[in-house]
Amino acid sequence: MAHNISYSRRLRRTPFTSGVEAAGVKSFTVYNRMLLPTVFEDIEFDYHHLKSDVQVWDVAVERQVELIGPDASKLMQMLTPRDLSKMQDDQCYYVPIVDDHGKMLNDPVAIKHSDTRWWISIADGDLLFWVKALALGMGLNVSVFEPDVSPLAVQGPKASDLMERVFGNEVHDIRFFRQKRLKFADTTFVVSRSGYSKQGGFEIYVEGSEYGMPLWNALFEAGGDLNVRPGCPNLIERIEGGLLSYGNDMNMENTPLECGLGKFCKFAEGSEFIGKDAIALEASHGPARQIRAISIQGRAIAPPRAAWPLLKDGERVGQVTSAAWSPDFATNVAIGMVDASHWDPGTELTVETSRGPRMARVEEGFWI
Ligand code: THG
């Protein structure tokens, strides 16, 4: 079953889409109403290449919500259970965003520029509306908008080598989840050591769409002998690494504790944020279910298009939301949400795939 997608202004192109198309992209998904490449050669070829060389990813779909003004830091802290009080001006934090019931609205990366300026690098969802409404409702002195900023990721074991050639030696000074402004052409970009893979790398926040293709071209010209290729977040690699996908592995029905993000909800006593009571209550008795690494026995499965029920003796005890064949681990790797009664490592379950039942097992951890 292969269909075409109909393009229009609503389905936004990115500053890099023309480069992605010229490079022979095979398929896209839609994320934040924008095109996100999902396959270049094929998913297994892309996977091996990501783990051995270096790739350039159009992740412009990681849209920014910018907060600017005297109350920017107050607003940012209201949005997340994660304690931001010790965050430095060059840090990035992975932050759960929850509603008043403590349910997940998004799981973005927050980039702090200063006490009066932040970017929230969002996962799939209209977080902008929530942030604008909160600023308005609280009467805060802050403006909230989507700037012309498009992240381009450089991921893989040779990412530092490639980045050094385009941005100079300073790239080596950037530590994990820190950022620094580096020169490109007649401008500067925020460059952070982060990205949606476990292979290491950087994200370049391209400010000004007109710089998109010049940067794309500069990276490919500099990296010919590094075997640089276009790539994209890779389903197999991100499941092995346990990187969650909002809307797939969790959504507004889940809490951060269920998502295994409890370590990002250790707030200070006097802190104020939306969902505090709900988060504190759940922390006191623990979550009812939680994200787990799951292996699925047998030959390669086709990735799920909907949640697959996890069963024990015919009873539903969870679901699998992401799954793929892992060439390196020679098993199907998966991410699931499993009830407390059945979440211990080694528990054997049945997963109801779209092509029938398979044996599944709760693993100790992800494949890293
Ligand atoms: N980078 C940026 N924006 C993003 C993503 C990104 N927005 C959308 C999406 N990805 C948000 N979700 C995630 C999920 C995982 C991580 C980052 C964003 C991540 N996690 C690491 C881990 O789990 O090992 C590190 C977490 C930590 O220790 O702080 O990187 O990728 N700009």
DSSP H or E stretch at residue 279: helix 276-285
- Domains for the chain: give ranges and CATH numbers: 17-62+148-239 (3.30.1360.120), 64-145 (3.30.70.1400), 288-368 (2.40.30.110)
- Ligand 1 binding pocket includes 366 (Cβ within 6 Å): no
Local mean pLDDT, 10-residue blocks, the chain (368 residues): 88 98 98 98 98 99 99 98 97 98 98 98 98 98 99 98 98 98 98 98 98 98 97 98 98 98 92 96 97 98 98 98 98 98 98 98 97
Q: Which atom of ligand 1 is nearest to the CA of 106?
A: 11
* Backbone dihedral region for residue 299 (phi beyond 0: left; psi -120 to 50: alpha; all else: beta): beta
- Ligand 1 binding pocket includes 121 (Cβ within 6 Å): yes
What predicted TM-score, i.e. pTM, was given to this entire model?
0.98
Quick one: pLDDT at residue 135? 98
Quick one: pLDDT at residue 199? 98
Which residues lie below 8 Å from residue 8, measured CB to CB, with a gap of 6+?
A: none
Q: Which long-range contacts (C-beta less than 8 Å, at least 24 apart) are formed by 187-193?
A: 187/211, 189/215, 190/111, 190/113, 190/119, 191/163, 191/167, 192/92, 192/111
Quick one: pLDDT at residue 2? 75
Give the Cα separation of 123 and 34 in Å (integer). 12
- Ligand 1 binding pocket includes 151 (Cβ within 6 Å): yes
Quick one: pLDDT at residue 1? 63
Distance 240 CA to ligand 1 centre (A): 15
DSSP character string of 133-170: HHHHHTT-S-EEE--SEEEEEEESTTHHHHHHHHH-GG
